Amino acid sequence: MTSKEQILQLREELNKHNYNYYVLDSPSISDYDFDIKLKKLQALEAKHPEFFDANSPSQRVGGEITKNFETLVHEQRMYSLDNSYSKEDLLDWETRIKKMVDGDLQFTCELKYDGASISLTYENGNLIKAVTRGDGVQGDNVTANIKTIRSVPLQLKGDFPERFDIRGEIVLPYEGFNKMNEERIEIGEEPYRNPRNTASGSLKLQDSSEVAKRPLECLLYSIVGSNLNITTQFESLEKARSWGFKVPQAAKLVNSIDEVFEFINYWDKHRHELPYETDGVVVKVNNLQQQEELGYTAKAPRWAIAYKFKAEQVSTRLNTISYQVGRTGAITPVANLEPVELAGTTVKRASLHNADQIEKLDIRVGDEVFVEKGGEIIPKIIAVDLTKRPENSQPTQYITHCPECETELVRTEGEAQHYCPNYNGCKPQIIGRIQHFISRKAMDIEGLGGETVALLVNENLIHNYSDLYELTKEQVLPLERMAEKSADNLIKGIEQSKQVPFERVLYALGVRYVGETVAKKLAKHYKSIEAIAEASHDHLINVDEIGVKIAESVLEFFNSQTNREIINRLRDFGVQLEISAEKLANQTNILEGNIFVVSGVFHIVSRDELKKLIEDNGGKVSSSISGKTNYIVAGDNMGPSKKEKAEKLQVSIISEQEFLEMVQ
Ligand code: AMP
Ligand code: ZN
């Protein structure tokens, strides 16, 4: 085979596997094998720049930087949709359009996906551009970013028209959204508000490799162009699906408004089971000939109408506003509401986000407010019912001092949140920091929980995490719900945490923006806490993946005399503050890029040792088997369902012995 043939074959294979994984949700190859093929392709492409193709699957990882997004005019306008809120509205719409067209009406019912609209242009089966809706007439060219979304086909299959536009919605499924937020909260960043805004914000990121990391999806709903040889909307969905697009299966062809209503009623109940947000149903006249007869108003097609699900919203009284202090000192205002039923649960509190939000909505204690449950878990206040505002009502004065320690709050230019700067003296910060220190991914102290930490701090038995190591059984025994055995376990757990490796200790310290991954990077690069504490700003930002924000936070942490003293105490107690010599000697990169699942009972090494070996050699350990898993290290009694899943996903199953040979 010539290099060119090899390149073309690899591209085709990778496109197919991508499609199986991201469009059909049924992977046909392990991630490991996928990566091998991708690396092979990348190597060949690097050697043969003459065969470059902007739509090669190798382009999915991104890397292109867009400083200013170019404005492009849509060849066909992107319209908005008229809204309806009741069965009457829909019947009115039907009556109106029946007068304007000949023949019976059929409708395609689709879900209204809540994300960011996008228009994709394909020529000869290749994606040539992707443009945001903008004002409907023109939008931004975001092609480089869209290419990184795995469910967007770069190369179509089947019998597609020579040139056409296809429209859809970029969404961020809940699972990916929540995961992104967990990671942000973990390192002290503000969580994203909702999937929709995060999805549309993602499209305008300058670095496409950042977009590639976000689990975005593209759901398609409409084809536009000429000479398409398509006669109905439903057919266009089926065709789009056959060319490789992700078109949700919920779409349904019906013959009457009654059936439309059945569809609406069904999805009003079941939409929460979908992996992404929807805010209604879009009803479209099915026949494209009839669509043409109906045409458009200035703003929207006459042949379609959106039915908006009733926002799960109620009004209730705002009794008080309280202010919570987080582990990082961030202040979050919380609305305490007159309890009210909303979407099947009793709501007593709602997030107010920050001072700007309160000011913007002019929210005051005593107001009757509208509360809504959107994609977020915590309900939010969306408006005030001004007609019910009490006469003597006063604008809310945001607090100026910490509710816990009375220190004056600060607010950094450009940040939405106020902070309590009393790092070492503010109870919730102290407790939060120690709770983080003992948490599972950090020091993982068995026998000690979050509530006990709060008790210990409140009883003045500890003031920072280094004090844990001086606790005695006699001191903790008198605490609430503490018995002989639990006290023993607590002391033992603390003692054992002295063996926790340096990278996790570093994470446990709770330096702002230093999450698990960053801690691993820093530990690997500097090897000891002294080296990190002495690193300069310039030196830090030269470390892979360490940016200015993290560097500044690290410098600030080690500039504090108190922090240095705490670290000295940890050292005296024997906590690991450097990579152990043994570990250094044993570390390699031979497993880099491979994800392992460990299952069953082992004989030569313990389960934990096995996991450690994987990580020390550059591999990753995951708890469940997925398309991303490369190997399963199977001991005795591996579960049959795991085995079945592994076989289905074609993940290599290796024995303990085989694994040990890999790292020998
Ligand atoms: P609106 O923004 O409320 O005017 O609603 C129009 C928008 O709904 C369009 O721009 C699309 O981005 C979006 N939309 C979501 N799902 C669909 C769908 N199945 N069919 C048509 N438009 C949809
Ligand atoms: Zn405080």
Q: Which residue has the least CA distance to atom 11 on ligand 1?
A: 117
Say how many Å lie between the CA of residue 309 and the centre of ligand 1: 14
Question: Which stretch of DSSP H or E encloses residue 282?
Answer: strand 278-285
Alpha carbons within 13 angstroms on the beta-carbon side of residue 470 total: 13
pLDDT, position 313: 80
Six-digit token string for 356: 């700007």
pLDDT, position 344: 64
158 class by beta-carbon count within 10 Å (0-12 exposed, 13-18 middle, 19+ buried)? exposed
Distance of CA 568 to the CA centre of its chain: 37
Contacts of 228-237 with C-beta under 8 Å, sequence gap 24+, read 228/161, 228/164, 229/161, 230/288, 231/287, 231/288, 231/289, 232/106, 232/108, 232/286, 232/287, 232/288, 233/108, 233/284, 233/285, 233/286, 233/288, 233/291, 234/108, 234/286, 236/288, 237/108, 237/110
Distance of CA 306 to the CA centre of its chain: 28
Q: Which residue has the least CA distance to atom 14 on ligand 1?
A: 112
CB within 8 Å of 581: residues ≥ 6 apart = none
Site to substitute for ligand 1 among 74, 76, 85, 117, most atoms within 8 A of C-beta: 117
Say how many Å lie between the CA of residue 169 and the centre of ligand 1: 8
Q: Which atom of ligand 1 is nearest to the CA of 111?
A: 19
Could you tell me whether strands 345-351 and 331-342 are parallel, antiparallel, or unpaired per DSSP bridges?
A: antiparallel
- Ligand with smallest separation from the Cα of 327: 2
Q: Which residue has the least CA distance to atom 18 on ligand 1?
A: 112
Q: Which residue has the least CA distance to atom 7 on ligand 1?
A: 80
Say how many Å lie between the CA of residue 559 and the centre of ligand 2: 20
CA distances from 505 to 1, 468, 497, 511, 523 (A): 52, 14, 9, 11, 10
- Cα distance between residue 224 and residue 79, in whole Å: 12
What residue ranges of the chain have pLDDT lower than 70? 343-344, 374-377, 582-584
pLDDT, position 583: 67
- Ligand with smallest separation from the Cα of 324: 2
> Which sequence positions are flagged as catalytic?
112
- Cα distance between residue 334 and residue 460, in whole Å: 28
CB within 8 Å of 243: residues ≥ 6 apart = 125, 153, 156, 157, 158, 159, 160
One-letter amino acid for residue 538 of the chain: D
Say how many Å lie between the CA of residue 421 and the centre of ligand 2: 7
Say how many Å lie between the CA of residue 54 and the centre of ligand 1: 29
Site to substitute for ligand 1 among 169, 253, 299, most atoms within 8 A of C-beta: 169
Q: Which atom of ligand 1 is nearest to the CA of 112?
A: 16
Six-digit token string for 70: 């170019």
Report phi then psi at 331, rounded to 5: -95, 130
Site to substitute for ligand 1 among 234, 282, 297, most atoms within 8 A of C-beta: 282
Instruction: Let me know: does 383 contact 374? Beta carbons within 8 Å.
Output: no
Residue with tokens 């190591």: 469
Per DSSP, the chain holds a count of helices (H) and strands (E) of 25, 20
Six-digit token string for 271: 């939409």
pLDDT in tens, 54-112: 899 998 988 788 888 999 999 999 999 999 988 899 999 999 999 999 889 999 999 99
pLDDT, position 622: 84
Angle at 511 between CA 510 and CA 514, to 5 degrees: 95
- Ligand with smallest separation from the Cα of 116: 1
pLDDT, position 380: 86
Say how many Å lie between the CA of residue 112 and the centre of ligand 1: 6
- Cα distance between residue 302 and residue 291, in whole Å: 8
Put simply, whether the predicted model's pTM sits higher than 0.85 gets the answer no
- Cα distance between residue 462 and residue 474, in whole Å: 14
As for ligand 1, residues whose beta carbon falls within 6 Å of it are 80-81, 110, 112-113, 117, 133, 169, 221-222, 282, 306
Say how many Å lie between the CA of residue 81 and the centre of ligand 1: 6
- Ligand with smallest separation from the Cα of 84: 1
Q: Which atom of ligand 1 is nearest to the CA of 78?
A: 10
Site to substitute for ligand 1 among 76, 77, 79, 81, most atoms within 8 A of C-beta: 81
Six-digit token string for 398: 């945001």
